[in-house]
Each structure stands twice: as C-alpha cells, then as structure tokens.
Amino acid sequence: MTSSSAPVLRSKFDDLNLAEASLISCLTRLKPGETSWEHSFEIAGRQMHVECLGNSYGFPHGPDNDMMLVLSNLYLEQGQPKDNAVHCSAYELLRMLGRTDSSQNYRIMHDSLTRLSGTLYKIAGWLDHPGGTARRVTFRSLERIEEIQGQARHLNLKSFGAGTKLKITLDKVVAASLSSPRVRPFDLDFMLKLSGSQSRTLFRLLDTLWYSDPHTAAQGFLEYDLIELGQLLRLINLRPDSIRRTIVPIHEELIASEFLQSATFSGRGSKQRVKYVFNPQRPDYPLTVEQLELVGRIKALGITDTQARAYVRKHGPGRVRERVAMAEGILASTTRFRKSRGAYAWDILVDESGKYAYAPPKPSRETQVPGSRTPKTAESEKEAEQEFEALRRSQLQLPPDEQWAVHRSALRLLLQRPLGADLWKVLEASCCSGDLEASVLLSEANAAVATLTLQAFMDNLKDTLMAHSSAGASA
C-alpha cells in the first residue's frame, strides 16, 4: 500500500514521568528469558525505584520507545478521549513512526504493541505535578489493543496489515499523567529522524536529563557514571567495555546531528565517567518567544534574518540582550557610518576585544522651565520620532511569529484579562499565523485607550476572534 502523503502528527510532547523513569531499554534485541529488570536511582533531585515485569515477548525495548511517544502524542492530538483510547489504522500508525509499508514493519509494530500492553511497571517516585509529593504507581503502558472490523474484538496474536483499524487504550495512570503539568514540549521530529532506535533512546534520555536538571541546563554539560548510564539505558551487560561499544556509535550520530558538541570518557574500569557537552541550540530547534524578540531587535539594526537567528542560537539570552542594548545605544548616537549601519551593528555584537563601550546618557543638570522646548530639544524629538517610525516600519515587515514575539508582552498587559484564557490563545494563534498583525493590533489598542474607546475595540476584537475560532474548528 502506498500513499502520496504520510499522516502528520502535529502534537510534539513528552511525559516527564515516563521519560525520567526510563522505562524502555536501548537494546535492539533480547535473549530468551530476558523479561524483567529492577533499578533504584536518583533523577532530577529525587529517588526513584522502577521494577519491570515483561511477558513472553520480553520487556519493552528498541522501537517501543518510538511507539509509546507516538501513541502519547496521538492521545493528546485526539483531544484526550475520556475512554483513554486512540483510533488509527495500522498503516497510519506505521507512517507516523516514520517507517515504510512492509510486512516486516507490521510484525515489528505488532510485537511492540504486545510488549507495551503485556509489561507491568511498579514505580516509586511518580509525580502528579512539579514540586508535588512523590507516590507509588503500578500500571501497564497500554491497557488494551483492539482490532476494529465492524465491531471491537481483541486483537489476534499475529501480525496485522495496512487495512487493520486499531483502537488502542492507554492505561489510566499514563493518561492521567499526560493530562498533568508534567508534560513538556519535545522535539519528536528530530528524534524520529535519527537513524537507529538506540540513538533515539539515548537522545530522549539525555534531553530529559538536560531538561529536568536546571544545573545541567545552566552549565551546558552533563556527567554520569558509565555503569549508571548503562543501567538507565536498561542494558543487560553492564561491563564498562560493553557499554562503551554500545554508546560510542550513538555519540557519533548525536554529534553529527548537532545535538551534542562532544562526548568524552574519563577514569578507568568500573570508575569510568562520561561527560556530554550540549550544543546551545540545534539549527532546527524552534526559537523561544524571548529569542524571537531578540531576533526582531537585531534585524531592526540592519542585520539579516539568517545572521540574527544564528547569533541568537549561539549565545545565551542574557549576553544577547546585553550586546543588542549596547548596539542600539551606540547606533542611536552615531550619525555617520564608515560601512553600512548593519555592518557596524554586527561588529558591535560579535566584538570580543572590548573595543566598544556604551553608557546611557545621564540627565542634564541644567534646569529648564517646565514645558519649554529649545531648538536642540525640538530637533532631538524630531529625530527620535523619525527613528521610532523607522523601527515601527521595520517591525511591520517582520514575519508574523516575530511580530508576535516583539509585541506579546504589551498586548498581554492590555488584552489578556478582558479576553480571557481561551480567546487569548486564539489571538496568539491568529497573530502567529498572520491572520492578524500584532504590530497593527497593538497600535489600534493603544489608540483605543487614548480615545477612551477600549470597550468598543474589545467587543470588535472578540467578535473577530470568535469567528477565527469557529473557522478553525470547522476546518
């Protein structure tokens, strides 16, 4: 069976409870009789104990990592059904996993679902919300798998084909956790592009450890005992040389894909440690709202979009904000440029020698009669007005998502409370998609405040957003 386009999974999240427990082994195959494991460890500053009891198909491993993530996101995308069940065809599920339509892949998918539904986990250290009290839970990842052919019936213990319609019910513990604040954004597309299941499993583990530990995120690196890392990857052979043979090829792919800067070993024997240095941000990773705001400010200095985005990805937000403020200040007080304005601004941003310095101008000590305007003052105000208009025009030329990032804080102050949470989300989506212009909207909102017509403005805006919401729902 072939299709011109593969089903697109728009939801991209991960459940920290499932990810931190590291429930799925990095192994690609198991030996007969390998059906269970048990591990006590510390993660994100708390103790966890996990016991895994598999079935005749073994415990979850290899492709099961991809399967559980896709099913979790399918559950979120289908609106978190009350019966915790997701519906899809076997072909659609296969394509969402990024696999080709072949009998071997259907067999692999069948075995994966059977392991996930037949394995029992007992976990101590489960959190219902950040900072909450840890508790014990016992569950199977999937409660039930059903094949739908006119009526629901239990799936036969044999592989199925492209036309099979599936109803897959998540365990109530898993479904509840996916509806909790413990769900976080995750780059599922990047993970599925990695070539092997072992690379995808280690990527998910490292990305989770980086996200869960604020010290790791601040330092930019993570260091682990080699044997402890092997246990978190749920390897059976924990000899240091065996662990290294497993993870060294994975390191090479994660470095080539720019997730890692480096992976180095230290120590000898069972005392070995591995240190991971992370890239500040991968080229394909979405920019945050704060980063998009900084990109907009850098482009307003006359710098290209490509340069601005690369600079923001390379440096931390604090440094970028400091350098941008310096460049804005210096350019505001400079009338002639040897090169272009953008080239001068770029030189200020990338300077490491300290040749540029800028101190905000101090208020004049001379007293003036209130309301008086000297010719110099009038000229300065005219220049400031021209500069403001130039900045406003440059902001109008920004892409919709960058306009939103620049004006989001001001719009939130004016509009979020009267709109309410639901319409605020519609407003954000409309501005990011380009249906509304954030720059124009802010200008109109400020004008409404100045003319005491804010209520009429809000009524019109609500009608517009309700129409956008209805159109999106019908689409």
Q: Which two tokens stand for residue 147?
A: 């094949």
pTM score above 0.75: no
Q: Residue 104 carries which side chain, given as an amino acid letter?
A: Q
User: CB of 278 within 8 A of CB of 254?
Assistant: no
pLDDT at 468: 80
Cα–Cα distance, 255 to 236 (Å, whole number)? 25
The per-residue pLDDT for 1 is 39
The phi and psi torsions of 411 (rounded to 5 degrees) equal: -65, -40
Euclidean distance between CA atoms 304 and 380, whole angstroms: 28
Side chain identity at residue 91, one-letter code: Y
What pLDDT is recorded for position 379? 55
85: enclosing H helix or E strand: strand 85-89
pLDDT at 316: 77
> How would you list the strands of the sheet with 273-278, edge to edge?
221-225, 273-278, 260-266
Q: Provide the β-strand partners of residue 265.
A: 274
Residue 6 CB contacts under 8 Å (≥ 6 apart), including other chains: 95, 96
- Tell me the torsion sign for CA atoms 72, 73, 74, 76: positive
Question: What pLDDT shows up at residue 279?
Answer: 83
H helix and E strand count, the chain: 20, 13
Q: Do residues 402 and 296 make contact, with C-beta atoms less than 8 angstroms apart?
A: yes
Q: What is the pLDDT of residue 153?
A: 53
Q: Tell me the C-alpha distance between 69 and 166, whole Å.
A: 17
The CA-based angle 88-90-93, given to 5 degrees, is: 65
pLDDT value of residue 389: 55
Distance CA 11, CA 80 (A): 12
Distance, CA of 9 to chain centre: 15
Q: Which of these, 328, 344, 346, lies nearest to 384 by C-alpha position?
A: 328
Helix (H, G, I), strand (E, B) or coil at 54: coil
pLDDT confidence of residue 370: 45
Q: Please state, in angstroms and rounded to a whole number, the distance separating the CA atoms of residues 60 and 27.
A: 9
Structure tokens at 341: 């304005």
Mean pLDDT by 10 residues, the chain (475 residues): 57 92 95 92 90 93 96 93 94 91 90 95 91 90 84 53 86 94 88 93 94 79 94 96 96 91 94 92 67 88 88 84 90 79 89 75 49 48 51 67 76 79 86 86 77 80 85 63
> Tokens 């399967």 label which residue?
67
Q: Kindly report the number of other CB atoms within 10 A of residue 233's CB atom.
A: 21
The reported pLDDT for the residue numbered 367 is 43
Find out whether 299 and 398 touch, Cβ atoms under 8 Å. yes
Nearest to 141 by CA among 178, 100, 92, 190: 178
Q: What does the pLDDT read at residue 422?
A: 81
171 and 139 Cβ atoms separated by less than 8 Å: yes
Closest CA relative to residue 131, chosen from 218, 19, 44: 44
**How high is the pLDDT of residue 375?**
54
Burial label for 444, CB within 10 Å (0-12, 13-18, 19+), is middle
Specify burial of residue 175 (Cβ count, 10 A radius: 0-12, 13-18, 19+): buried
The 8-class DSSP code of residue 43 comes to E
Beta bridge partners of 221: 277
SS3 431: helix
CA–CA separation, 119 vs 142, rounded Å? 9
Give dist(CA 134, CA 301) in Å, integer. Answer: 50
The reported pLDDT for the residue numbered 475 is 56
